[in-house]
Structure 1
């Protein structure tokens, strides 16, 4: 592959890109770093973008735009190129997205959560890249127009653009971008573009255009889409891993003779994370893994998790929630919650539980790795949410540098946070380096569950203070759980003094006008490999928050909708989604044998409100959700249908978590092993889902998580309306429901 050459300033910013003679196309490189935009372009013999480029314009008018995130069904493979193409004034039919390489110095996300890192998580791709990619597109457009102004000897002010075309209206001349690529030359510096120079929303052609679908969908429909599990490379062998049952456990005794007797099994490798079986086919490695499972024993001495039982630990979690010596750390504060509780006319108190949950991504975890003979470089084929982390991990294993690791990003068959962790990359590189062959590691569902990175088990103690007029004047929310940041984001964990940004996300309630609020956390250390899961911390925290709001509405003798409208008088966007969803569901209409429940969701500035209609089979304890109504204000809508798709998908995910999904832990190991004992939502249990976008003038705020949040609390609140009993423990399984209502 031909690549362009770069010169860099000492701080690593791109300063200038050489002009190379060739017949390929025109490449623009716009680097995003610390809020500064520096740029350059090149002509090359390759019609594809060079590794540090954002845009390539081919002589055939093809426009390749780099996408700095992975695609796991959330739609950024379309949305991000579309944002840049809008300002470039590109002909969308000529745009082709390409995955950007793992180079955060160029492709990093400036959103505060990542601060220049390159990863796909937390619904921050569109909010983080929105302005920067618009500026990058506007700069590329300006360079094209400058080149035409110089060639035609006309003022720049007389030029305009149509899709992929520069126009000189007074002379009637037009020229396609591909033609301009043949003669454009590099300015000494990239054009200065401010936000004021960008298109006003009323001139958008692409952003918000309902006729534009997701670019990844056709290949997924016709079967040509390639996921990581589809990758084949010459000389490749296969691997399975019998995973260690908990963090830190190592194989103690491995009897490999039976596995090696299986046709196609080439090698058995005891490793720190388990036992790998290498073979010529997937079937052989799977059979070898099963043979090992019977006789392999594990050394769990010194592991924290080995004494953890999720059921037996519950009394301790509850004690720590009430223990004044527990030393909680604050997450969100407003006013003086302690004083308001001490002086309250009445205190309302409640508690809530959520269990460990598995990501349940459809595509099994997999990776292909080929380590060079000198063990100083490698090539990876994987669908990952953290491409740069993947190269850092691989480089660390090989004792080399990340630039020596080439990563080929693949479509992901579901991520939901599971593909943030780089454990599959680490394991594959270790195996490939040991056997000196390209290897494809595929974890069985059993091993993926054994090595689960679950959402933590959480306990919530909620307290509220009412004054003598019955007004809500104080709010105290304490969560007891393992710390997700400690495992998933250690630098942030340290920088924040041990606070858990991921696990405590959603405890803050700035949109509710409660004058005195304290949200805080107590850390449990139980040895579980907890990680983010779709919904982030808001997935469990909004369950506690929104159920508690309904409990307070009952205590104040208020309608739950009226209660929320009263609390959100200072937040018009929250009011708008609440009013819209109430209208959709006909909130006041009585239901025979059914009831409605309401919840409000907020995540990083996106507001959603949900209402569910439920019935209950009291003899079986099974909850049936018949209909879901959801409204959302995600700020500026980039792709209308994808916003609704993400909202619906989040609702399905949230429904499954609310009613069914639960991992149990005994002696540090996950009890469940596959979907036979970890069921997920079935099609027969799907309700009708009705969605509506509520428009506002806010900037785009992200869609990947928000659909999850209102579902569980709305179901619990509906059951209270139906039975007068409260379900404060997720999941609301039939067994748990029967225990409460009988």
Structure 2
């Protein structure tokens, strides 16, 4: 047990150091099982598995005359992204949020590989907000590895270069005569570890004060793929031990001795509510209840909120339930799911609405002269994030600085809002970073930190931990918007292909709601939300193509659309790949051959460096590999009755950073009950260089399960301006018993690494939809696809 505890402390020292600095006490009572019974049983194995390797001592050369040792705590910081300590420990600074995707391990590999560090001496520090990292704090869009790759390779090369320069000076040789391996610089007459080099920097004019300009860093030689020792290799994940032992600190673990608890009483809708009257007569009967606060919010993030303050969370929870609040009615309370669909259809029918992304010459002529046109519409229900850890934040005023203790995915976005809420300059607000108990895009929006700060402000800066119960979390969620998509093609029966395509995507726009500065520009200078369209801007050659993005303004006025894992790429491939299968059926074409013929890599689909080298040809390659993997099309003849396999392919996440993905699903449909069972999923992924193989597989697997959840189980409905489902009694994500077998294949190449957090989601729903058709003969065009939909289709003869 002692070894296990020591291991956890060492591995997670970053969190414990920052918590000590801020006098935060984390309560681990809910993890007692891990730290006692389970920990005792597993301690020896864990300590053995994660212990660092011992190294034989290396004799240092004598110090030059007059040289002095630096202070023991002196760190060498070649760039802001890493430090090397005198004991040889390499710390990599991580600005990305850790929410189960092992991002720290992946990013630390990049810098450690390039500097030839000893992986057993590498640790990670999830840094708090600081001016030097400004603008870097965002974890979403599957960007982390992709956006950090070049930066961290250069940073690692800079560290290696400076360490070799200093080692050569100490060893009395030239840098060219030295080589580096596993944290040791070896010269002709001796060797030095990184720690020894730092310890023996002769004076402040040498190593510890050296730095490189951006131009010098860019000129440094980088390793070839063949020279890499950590990237793509199996190594121990650095974040696993604290999670296993229960020492990982999440936002909900934060505690201060003089802290109070808060829970909100939410208005009936997100926007427009105003408090008329509050009655706390019943709340006052709860032991520990202190007061309520009607929040005065200059940011308008939490309109009409009343927050209950109590000495404990149970007291805050019960007192909030008993609090009676009367609000002014809002127009949003009259909005239903049906209203949103009616509005979407009306916007789709109006040629003046929305923003054109593509409008190729010849679309109209192709449709006017077509032998036949073929049109379909597809819809999706709202989806909630339902993170395991409901959103929470702890705020206090400490030494003139507003501290926000929470887990968040985009600190750079919410910091200005928090400063506005506090009424102070932004440099007087600091976010303290913790592990996230689930993000999935929900914590890109830091709106939940605002009421914590406002409550603390109302109490004179006293520490306030604001927590949302599950039903609060669901009601306040920035949900994935319901969507409506219309696809039409002019078909060419003679050449068995598509002559032209029109594609409209209508949904609420999350970027418009939360980060309008990041809206993209379409044709004619009109703005649109790229995260409400990605996936529709496909790589198929369909002749002249007209693509339009349309904001469902009623959705944005009713609730706050949010980014949810895969964002629009979670619904656009559902429509497009279902439609492509339907079009292939219309033209009597094999669906795989039909797709491959359109992935010809011509024109705008040719791809470009450095992110989309190969273009549509790489998407064709993953599809061909998938066909070989499942033995398409012969596999269909080997399946039992009421069982089918469907395929799909896409490029999530974005056209400028495509992760080419092809997927297949094997599905059984019970024709009596309508029950749909996904038996197996195959995924072939080309994400370029795979930095962290284990993490990559986990990401794709987790994404596929989420895609399955949204395809067959997960979804709710807008009723009276908000979602109807508030807990697991009426919100039904995937259960463990419904997990299928999953087979994942990564294409082997050395291209720049792309994202892996979301692409696993994208192809699952259309593959399942196409499999349902092959198993039952019924086309379903709404997500989620549930047993009742099969029974309804049977009655209608669809």
- 1:342 pairs with 335, 346, 368, which one? 368
- Equivalence for 1:521: 549
Counterpart residue number, 1:441? 466
Give the secondary structure class of the aligned counterpart of 1:741. helix
Matches within 5 A, 1:524-535: 524-526=552-554, 527=557, 528-535=559-566
Secondary structure, counterpart of 1:320 in structure 2: helix
Q: How far did residue 385 of structure 1 move?
A: 0.2
Q: Partners in 1 of 2:292 and 2:132 — Cα distance?
A: 41
Distance 1:685 1:357 in 2: 19
d(CA) in 1 for partners of 2:327 and 2:787? 35
Name 1:5's counterpart in structure 2: none
Partner of 2:687: 634
The Cα shift of 1:435 comes to: 1.6
| Stretches of structure 1 lacking an aligned partner (at least 5 in a row) | 3-18, 31-52, 109-115
Aligned pairs for 1:306-705 within 5 A = 306-324=333-351, 326-334=352-360, 336-372=362-398, 376-436=400-460, 437-467=462-492, 468-493=494-519, 497-510=526-539, 512-526=540-554, 527=557, 528-570=559-601, 571-587=616-632, 588-589=634-635, 590=637, 591-593=639-641, 594-603=643-652, 604-705=657-758
CA offset at residue 396 of structure 1? 1.6
Question: Hey, what's the Cα distance between the residues in 1 that align with 2:510 and 2:227?
Answer: 43
Number of the residue aligned with 2:177: 158
Deviations along 1:72-104, one digit per CA (max 9) or x if unpaired, are 11221111111111111110111110013324x
What is the CA–CA distance in structure 1 between the aligned matches of 2:662 and 2:219, rounded to whole Å?
Answer: 32
1:79 matched residue in structure 2: 106
Scaled by the length of structure 1, the TM-score of the pair is 0.89
CA distance in 2: counterparts of 1:313 and 1:98, whole angstroms: 45
Preserved contact between residue 513 and residue 560 of structure 2 (Cα < 8 Å): yes
Aligned partner of 1:57 in structure 2 is: 84
| CA positional deviation for 1:332 | 3.7
Offset from partner CA, 1:48-89 (integer Å, 9 cap, x none) = xxxxx3211111111111011111112211111111111111
- For the residues of structure 1 that align with 2:785 and 2:710, how far apart are their CA atoms? 9
> Is 1:138 aligned to 2:157, yes or no?
yes
- 1:16 maps to none
> Secondary structure in 2 aligned to 1:613?
strand
Q: Give 1:728 deviation, angstroms.
A: 0.5
- Cα drift, residue 320 of structure 1: 2.5
2:769 to 684, 699, 716: 716
Which residue does the alignment assign to 2:198?
181
8 Å Cα contact 2:158/2:220 also seen in 1 = no
> Which residue of structure 2 aligns with residue 113 of structure 1?
none
Matches of 1:249 and 1:332 in 2, distance apart? 40
How far apart are 1:459 and its partner, in Å? Answer: 0.6
Query: How many residue pairs end up in the alignment?
Result: 685
Per-residue CA distance 1:312-369 (angstroms, 9 max, x = gap)? 3323322322333x42311245554333222322211111001111011111111111
Contact 1:259–1:289 (CA under 8 A) maintained in structure 2: yes
**Distance in structure 2 (CA, Å) of the matches to 1:741 and 1:714:** 21
Q: Distance in 2 between matches of 1:334 and 1:87?
A: 45
Change in Cα spacing, 1:21 to 1:245, as seen in structure 2 (3 Å) is farther
Name the structure 1 match of 2:326.
Answer: 297
Tell me if structure 2 keeps the 8 A contact 1:377–1:400.
Answer: no
Q: Distance in 2 between matches of 1:724 and 1:220?
A: 46
Q: Which residue of 2 aligns with 1:255?
A: 279
When residues 465 and 195 of structure 1 are mapped into structure 2, their CA distance, relative to the original with a 3 A threshold, is: farther
| 8 Å Cα contact 1:352-1:728 kept in structure 2 | yes
**Conserved in 1, the CA contact under 8 Å of 2:304 and 2:327?**
no
Shift of 1:492: 2.2
Relative distance call for 1:475 and 1:573 in structure 2 (3 A) is same
Question: Deviation digits for residues 657-709 of structure 1, max 9, x if unmatched?
Answer: 11122221122122221111111111111111111111123210110010000
1:621 Cα deviation from its structure 2 partner: 2.2
The answer as to whether partners of 1:25 and 1:56 remain within 8 angstroms in 2 is: no
Q: 1:336 to 1:251 in 2, by over 3 A?
A: farther
Q: Which runs of 5+ in 2 are unaligned?
A: 1-16, 19-67, 202-206, 296-302, 602-615
Partner Cα distance (1:306, 1:619) in 2: 39
Structure richer in strand, relative to its length: 1
CA 1:543–1:384 in 2, change beyond 3 Å: closer, same or farther? same
- Cα 1:20–1:429 change in 2 (3 A) is farther
1:273 to partner: Cα distance: 4.0
Moved more, 201-210 or 657-666: 657-666
Using structure 2 for the length normalisation, give the TM-score: 0.83
Contact 2:225/2:750 (8 A) holds in 1 = no
- Give the Cα–Cα distance (whole angstroms) in 2 for the partners of residues 185 and 626 of structure 1: 58
Find the counterpart in structure 2 of residue 15 from structure 1: none
Deviation at 1:265, TM superposition (A): 1.1
1:148 corresponds in structure 2 to 167
Please give the alpha-carbon distance, in whole angstroms, between the structure 2 residues aligned to 1:20 and 1:487.
Answer: 56
Aligned to 1:237: 260
Q: Looking at secondary structure, tell me which structure has more helix per residue.
A: 2
CA contact (8 A) 1:213 1:641 kept: no
Alpha-carbon shift at residue 20 of structure 1 (Å): 13
Which residue number in structure 1 is paired with residue 241 of structure 2? Answer: 218
The CA deviation string for residues 563-598 of structure 1, in whole angstroms up to 9 with x for no partner, is: 122222433321222122223323322211210011
| Counterpart position of 1:99 | 126
Note if contact 1:630-1:690 (Cα within 8 Å) is conserved in structure 2: yes
